[in-house]
């Protein structure tokens, strides 16, 4: 439809993924997120979680949304904390709240076999069955588990009640809904909904997030335009992965996933962080800067553990920049929920037919800010400015269209504000 990317997007949005008028919890857009995955992996425990939170505050980072990742539960399908690792989970949540954090827990649709919950759910017919009518066992990244049949409304209502009971008991604000990927659905299944397939399974798993304003997903299907936080798939700790953030984020917006988090600062693929003797501090800082002017930014690997004092301070500075831009980003989120216009926009979307089709290293944050981060090692880059007047982060004014070469020391994130004509 139309003659521009914007016109095509708005036509596709209206037809296939119309905006819902709702957004996720506003805190996602104005405050950084902290996820314990890279630091703790499967060793989630109360002492180290509190240490992470206190270190974030001590190093000058704003309090935001705090996510406790996988393996806090007694086992999958049970929603109580492991008592040997969490002696006082309600006390932990209360302390995090007093510090100014909101608290989320990792959950997945899987259920540990041979558990009381497994027996109860199987008896009720709430577990996914294979084509022969037996309870299916899914091989996913952390083992072999039974799984909720997400196409069964009664099963999903039961799960929601379990999660709401967890919130009531422990004071939890919301959940990270992980798993549900079609990549692990390799068998032939007899879904409760006879018309369903594995894509429907993933869609129905993701839909549960709509019942919890504090939500995060990594996998979804046909849910563009909905009030769901969609995190990009886990990325490596590498320059190449950092260079993919802008094209991946602009693509997400064009698919209706406006409220997207660009994975984790430095990468969310935990294997890339194993056995690293010396971290590339420049890479971590530049990754942080890319996140700062995205809809959301999420830390997992702890900057204060792997960076020099000076570079930790730079990361804290950009976490505060994200906070300072929070009202503007929140306004863009509300605009997206009403119009279908993305928050992160491809340059070609905002400035059609000016030569930006292949531009992958800068983006528009709404219609006001052009962001041009460093995506390679070094301290210099070129920036393509569209028509109009632009004021950079140092206060210098340029008149476009023109291509400029700028110096970008490690502490600088170049961005340009569009001035009135």
The SS3 of residue 341 is coil
* Strand-pair category, 65-68 with 33-35: parallel
Give the per-residue pLDDT at 9.
97
Question: Which tokens is 6 given?
Answer: 């914007």
Q: Which residues of the chain have pLDDT under 50?
A: none
Phi, psi (deg, nearest 5) at residue 119: -65, -40
d(CA 390, CA 384): 11
| CA geometry: angle 92, 95, 96, nearest 5 deg | 85
CB atoms inside a 10 Å sphere around CB 221: 18
- What DSSP designation does 133 have? S
Q: Which residues pair with 298 in a beta bridge?
A: 33
Q: Are 410 and 311 in contact (CB under 8 A)?
A: yes
Give the per-residue pLDDT at 421.
67
The SS3 of residue 212 is coil
Give the per-residue pLDDT at 389.
97
Give the per-residue pLDDT at 420.
80
Give the per-residue pLDDT at 275.
77
The widest CA-to-CA distance across the chain, in whole angstroms, is 70
d(CA 12, CA 10): 5
Overall size of the chain counted in residues: 421
The SS3 of residue 66 is strand
Query: pLDDT tens digits for 206-225?
Result: 999 999 999 999 999 999 99
* Strand-pair category, 189-190 with 110-111: unpaired
CB atoms inside a 10 Å sphere around CB 147: 28
Query: pLDDT tens digits for 93-120?
Result: 999 999 999 999 999 999 999 999 999 9
CB atoms inside a 10 Å sphere around CB 377: 10
Give the residue among 371, 366, 356, 351 at the shortest CA–CA distance from 413.
371
Give the per-residue pLDDT at 270.
81
Alpha helix positions (H), 235-325: 239-254, 281-292, 303-306, 309-324
The SS3 of residue 130 is strand
pTM: 0.96
Q: Which residues pair with 363 in a beta bridge?
A: 371
Between 153-170 and 116-124, two packed helices, what is the crossing angle to 10 degrees?
Answer: 150
Question: Which tokens is 104 given?
Answer: 């989320």
d(CA 43, CA 193): 37
Q: What percent of the chain has pLDDT over 70?
A: 100
């Amino acid at each position: 439809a139309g003659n521009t990317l914007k016109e095509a997007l708005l036509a596709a949005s209206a037809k296939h993924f119309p905006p819902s008028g709702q957004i996720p919890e506003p805190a996602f857009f104005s405050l950084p997120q902290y996820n314990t995955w890279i630091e703790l992996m499967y060793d989630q425990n109360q002492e180290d979680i509190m240490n992470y939170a206190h270190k974030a505050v001590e190093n000058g980072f704003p309090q935001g949304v705090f996510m406790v990742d996988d393996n806090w539960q007694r086992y999958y399908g049970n929603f109580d904390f492991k008592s040997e690792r969490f002696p006082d989970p309600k006390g932990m949540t209360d302390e995090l709240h007093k510090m100014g954090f909101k608290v989320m827990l990792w959950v997945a649709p899987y259920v540990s076999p041979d558990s009381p919950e497994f027996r109860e759910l199987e008896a009720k017919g709430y577990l996914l069955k294979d084509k022969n009518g037996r309870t299916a066992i899914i091989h996913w990244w952390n083992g072999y588990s039974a799984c909720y049949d997400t196409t069964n409304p009664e099963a999903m209502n039961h799960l929601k009640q379990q999660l709401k009971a967890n919130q009531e008991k422990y004071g939890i604000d919301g959940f990270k809904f992980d798993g549900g990927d079609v990549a692990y659905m390799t068998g032939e299944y007899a879904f409760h909904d006879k018309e369903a397939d594995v894509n429907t399974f993933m869609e129905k798993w993701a839909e549960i997030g709509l019942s919890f304003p504090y939500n995060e997903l990594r996998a979804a299907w046909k849910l563009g335009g909905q009030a769901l936080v969609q995190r990009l798939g886990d990325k490596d700790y590498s320059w190449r992965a950092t260079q993919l953030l802008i094209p991946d984020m602009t693509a997400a917006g064009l698919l209706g996933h406006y409220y997207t988090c660009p994975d984790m600062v430095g990468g969310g693929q935990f294997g890339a962080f194993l056995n690293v003797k010396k971290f590339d501090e420049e890479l971590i800082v530049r990754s942080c800067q890319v996140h700062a002017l995205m809809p959301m930014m999420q830390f997992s690997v702890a900057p204060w553990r792997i960076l020099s004092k000076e570079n930790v301070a730079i990361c804290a500075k950009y976490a505060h920049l994200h906070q300072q831009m929070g009202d503007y980003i929140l306004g863009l989120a509300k605009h997206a929920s009403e119009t279908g216009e993305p928050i992160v926009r491809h340059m070609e979307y905002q400035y059609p037919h000016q030569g930006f089709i292949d531009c992958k290293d800068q983006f528009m944050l709404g219609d006001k800010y052009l962001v041009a981060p460093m995506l390679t090692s070094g301290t210099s880059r070129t920036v393509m400015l569209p028509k109009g007047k632009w004021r950079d982060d140092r206060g210098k004014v340029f008149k476009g269209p023109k291509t400029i070469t700028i110096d970008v020391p490690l502490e600088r994130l170049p961005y340009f504000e569009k001035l009135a004509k």
